[in-house]
Structure 1
Amino acid sequence: MTKRAFPPVVDDRARLLILGSLPGDASLKAAQYYAHPQNAFWRLIGGVIGRDLAALAYLDRLDALKGAGVGLWDVIASAERTGSLDAAIRSPEAADLVGLIDSLPGLQAVAFNGATAAKMGRRRLNGIDRNLTLIDLPSSSPAHATRSLSEKAQSWAILKTYLSDDA
């Protein structure tokens, strides 16, 4: 079954762009990024920006991200995939990461949420004519339980460096 990414969540204040691989089934069904209740994304990024994002309505979460200078998207525009696991992705079509990045003059860093996003995203951004910091993060997915939430939060804390001054 072909699955498609959501549009990017970003505005011209973005200093940090977080890229996942492709929304999972729970997210696609809800039409919301990181909708699976066991996905730690909202808790992890909430810890970074200093807000309890999980307690907010979805659109308020997105506004809080943008207000903190954080953008959100995926490295894959569409792919064939049964279920939600990245290992099941077949025939991926890359998202236009370069085009998005070119539209964000204040962007300083791109963070990859998980190994698949990092592998594919780094390949797409190889040779880009921008001085961006690329950061590989442990996946927020419940399928990647090799690290505890607190261990993941320690890794994600580096993102605080790239928050907007008015966050």
Structure 2
Amino acid sequence: MEKKKTEHVTHTFGPVYNKDSEILILGSFPSVKSREGEFYYHHPQNRFWKVLSYLLDVEQPVSIEEKKQLLLKNHIALWDVIESCDICGSSDSSIKNVVPNDIPSLLKQTNIKKIVVNGGKADELYKRYCLKQTEIKAIRLPSTSPANAIWSFERLINEWERIFSD
């Protein structure tokens, strides 16, 4: 079995937001599938779009444009904590040499009052690299990644409902 090597990777697609965005959802860094597809949560087994669609009571978007429209229509911004890092494949646990995205700059261009992080690694990275600048405590939610199989769809829904409550 060939061992995957660590490589330095830069985020190649920008955040989804507009001036009306009120909620920011942050992941850690795009998976290999997301980097290949050049959009967030592109892995077919990732439950992000399924969870969000269910909570918003809309049909699950398929195209990148439909996904962007779903987010913007519901005042949701989407980005990742990391702009570039050393990573082995899609493994969050392998992430090193982090350069964070400029989250404070995005906040200045929006009405974001709530920040949600998708999983433990995003939470850890946000606290380490962004919290001091943003001064907004993030709500940590369980990862929608297929690697987080211990969380059923129903359990994810129950936790992710917190996005829309105060």
- Is residue 41 of structure 1 aligned with residue 48 of structure 2? yes
Question: CA offset at residue 149 of structure 1?
Answer: 1.2
How far does the alpha carbon of each residue in 1:8-54 deviate from its partner, in whole angstroms, 9 at most, with x for none? 11001101000000000011111121110100010111122221224
Runs of 4+ in structure 1 deviating by more than 3 angstroms, as ranges, are: 127-130
> Aligned partners of 2:59 and 2:137: how far apart in 1?
26
- Number of equivalenced pairs: 159
SS of corresponding position for 1:53 = coil
> Aligned partners of 1:89 and 1:125: how far apart in 2?
16
Residue type matched to 1:62 in 2?
Answer: K
Q: How does 1:94-133 map to 2 (within 5 A)?
A: 94-104=100-110, 106-128=111-133, 132=136
Q: TM-score, normalised by structure 1?
A: 0.88
Residue type matched to 2:29 in 1?
Answer: L
SS of corresponding position for 1:37 = coil
Show the counterpart of 1:68: 74
2:55–2:161 Cα contact (<8 Å) kept: yes
Unaligned runs of 5+ in 2: 1-6
How far does the alpha carbon of each residue in 1:60-106 deviate from its partner, in whole angstroms, 9 at most, with x for none? 111111110000000000111121010111211111111111222x2
How far does the alpha carbon of each residue in 1:122-167 deviate from its partner, in whole angstroms, 9 at most, with x for none? 233334465x4521010010111121111011100111237xxxxx
**% identity of equivalent residues:** 28
SS of corresponding position for 1:65 = helix
1:114–1:139 Cα contact (<8 Å) kept: yes
Unaligned runs of 5+ in 1: 163-167
- Is residue 59 of structure 1 aligned with residue 65 of structure 2? yes
